[in-house]
Amino acid sequence: MVVAISKELSLRENYLEEGIDTIYFGGGTPSLLSTEQLHYLLSEISSTFKLNQNAEITLEANPEDITTTKAKDLIDLGFNRISLGVQSFDDEILKKLNRAHSKVDAVKAIQILQTAGFTNLTIDLIYGIPEQNLKMWESNLALATKLNVQHLSCYALTIEEKTAFGHWQKSGKLKPVPDTKYDEEYQVMAKYLAGAGYEHYEVSNFAKTGYESQHNSSYWQQEPYLGLGPGAHSYNGSSRQYNVSNNATYIKALTNDKLPFEIEKLSQSQIYNEYILTGLRTKKGIDLLRIKQNFEIDILEVHKPFLDRCMRDHLLIIDYNHIILTDKALILADSIIVELMIDE
């Protein structure tokens, strides 16, 4: 797999025109790679593309994979940000989520990384879990802030049809969570983290000042990116590429010097809709001048009645030619976004 990814990298060296500001090892369990494998891939990337100074280099990891030696090795390799898949600090909830780690493992992993010298940590937490009450959710948030984690990504539990949760819900073993529970836990989260000094800079993301995810922010601003590996996506501003997801098929193709992807040419309306979708979920909002220049759409004119209503209800503001959702409206972002999209 590592050799195949390296081969894909060499075959796609002309995909990006500018230097690299972020590298993100994700999409599974990259922390299982050995130090030698990670070093090899980082070396291949830096010899293929210009790596800009102070680039954000992130590794996704599970708490059970973090050891003192591993943390030191990651620092020495040049990683400066770790995304830790905590999900919860409650042992019973972790069992329900089929996670291999415990609360103690998660706390220990965070402390090991901090001792090793990592000053930029992000963790994932999940709300809207049937067995989780408000007190338990607040305890999760309290411990995360007490541990001085710089960034939190908090997601609502989604139940996919073919997962264990999906089967449980179908059989009646798992009761559906009412929307009011999601709303209540979301509001508690937003209020608590704001009080703890975190900025709510995207619908699901909170950061201490200066610790917003540069990598994810580049997605939300529609900047070009190159994705390597099975199932990876790439975007160059006008088209999107999708790598085949099957590992064996991916490796076989690259062994034969072939790139295993499909290309989707994006229409102007698709590019516009994606900009609205990602931009309005962030604190930066959407740039009205950019939209007028790139798409020849005057949103303020086209959607005047709807926007007037939203402003009257304190759901959005217009500031320096940007439409920005208020804190109150972030939980309603999807429904507002749909109103501003255009049909194909």
Give pLDDT tens digits for 305-342.
999 999 999 999 999 899 999 998 998 999 999 999 98
Percent of the chain with pLDDT over 90: 85
- Looking at the predicted structure, is the pLDDT value of residue 70 above 80? yes
Lowest mean pLDDT among 55-69, 83-97, 167-181, 186-200: 167-181
Residue-wise DSSP of 74-120: HHHHT--EEEEEEE-S-HHHHHHTT-S--HHHHHHHHHHHHHHT---
- Looking at the predicted structure, is the pLDDT value of residue 162 above 70? no
**Residue 47 token pair:** 């010899």
Give the whole-angstrom CA distance, residue 43 versus residue 89.
36
Per-residue pLDDT, 28: 73
Q: Mean of the pLDDT values across residues 244-265? A: 96
For residues 27 and 232, the answer to whether their CB atoms sit within 8 Å is: yes
Q: What angle in degrees, to the nearest 10, is found between the helix axes of 2-11 and 35-48?
A: 0
Q: Mean of the pLDDT values across residues 162-167? A: 62
Lowest mean pLDDT among 71-75, 95-99, 176-180, 298-302: 176-180
Residue with tokens 């593309």: 49
The CATH class that applies to domain 18-219 reads alpha beta
Domain with CATH 3.30.750.200 in the chain: 18-219
- Looking at the predicted structure, is the pLDDT value of residue 36 above 70? yes
Torsional sign, CA 87, 93, 97, 103: positive
Work out the widest C-alpha separation in the chain, in whole angstroms: 60
Burial 98-135 (b: 16+ CB within 10 A, else e): ebebbbebbbbbbebbbebebebbbbbbbbbbbebeee
| Partner residues linked to 121 by β-bridges | 82
Q: Give residues with Cβ within 8 angstroms of 61, minimum separation 6.
A: 29, 30, 31, 82, 83, 84, 85, 109
Residue with tokens 């950061």: 207
Query: What pTM was computed for the model?
Result: 0.93
Lowest mean pLDDT among 2-6, 25-29, 48-52: 25-29
Percent of the chain with pLDDT over 70: 95
Q: Give residues with Cβ within 8 angstroms of 205, minimum separation 6.
A: 151, 152, 153, 154, 212, 213, 216
* pLDDT tens-digit map of 192-216: 999 999 999 999 999 999 999 999 9
